[in-house]
Structure 1
Amino acid sequence: MTHPVASAAVQLRFAESWFTVCGLDALIPGRGVAALLPDGRQAAVFRDRADRLYAVDNRDPFTGAAVLSRGLTGTHRGRPFVASPLLKQRFDLLSGECLDDASVRVAAYRVRAAAPANVLD
């Protein structure tokens, strides 16, 4: 008998432990999702077309709005970024640095795809 295989879990490193955000299949390449963290903040989580995962704070530091998960993704000089949908500043998805103003940054999180905990036989 064949059983559906559960999707890998997307996990974010938070407060010295891994926190499960969603299933890998919930992330559409090039589009972000907002994840509520245990402390009430939000992270913007992304998957690119090569299945690399990224996570940064969802709050745009220029406006204070939690919108980075709705931003457009791309690369600039080999650096993956998300552009805020409001004022269009670009944030490096690895470091959180603003590519348009190096004095501004958002938190960047380690993120991974983990095997599902339970798979049916």
Structure 2
Amino acid sequence: MPPTIEMTTTWERTCEVADLEPGWGEVALLGTHQVALVRITDEEVYAVTHHDPHTGAPVMARGIVGSRGDRPTIASPLHKEVYDLGTGECFTDPGLALRTYRTRIVGGMIEVELDR
């Protein structure tokens, strides 16, 4: 019987919330993960992969931040596919999805949950 591989997660500190401009993305390198952080408000920060699901290019932190109704979004700066920041769902191409990461704010610092 093959050994069971247990997935674990860890919270990685990235930066202070105040270091991010509302409505803009910034890249954080967390181990081997390039993560795009997007601050919407002081209490609302999203983390998604920095790699565009359509092309694989590391550009998502430079995407266009907006919303669809009450759902915050980011559009790829390359081909303008629009993704839900919370779920990663692509509004413009159902065949694409953006990887999302859970975030939390602890003592003014943004932490991102990563698989290990």
Report the TM-score range of the alignment, normalised by the length of the smaller protein: 0.7 to 0.9
Counterparts of 1:1-121 in structure 2, within 5 Å, are 15-38=8-31, 40-49=32-41, 51-115=43-107
Could you say what the CA RMSD is over the residues aligned between the two structures, in angstroms?
Answer: 1.7
Superimposed CA distance per residue, residues 66-97 of structure 1 (whole angstroms, 9 cap, x where no aligned partner): 11101111111221110111111111100111
Q: Percent identity?
A: 39
What TM-score comes out, normalization by structure 1 length?
0.77
User: Aligned AA for 1:55?
Assistant: A
What TM-score comes out, normalization by structure 2 length?
0.80
Q: In 2 relative to 1, CA 100–116 (structure 1 residues): closer, same or farther, beyond 3 Å?
A: closer
Instruction: Give the number of the structure whose residues are more often strand, by fraction.
Output: 2
Deviation at 1:116, TM superposition (A): 5.9
* Count of aligned pairs: 102
Superimposed CA distance per residue, residues 49-75 of structure 1 (whole angstroms, 9 cap, x where no aligned partner): 464111111100111111110111111
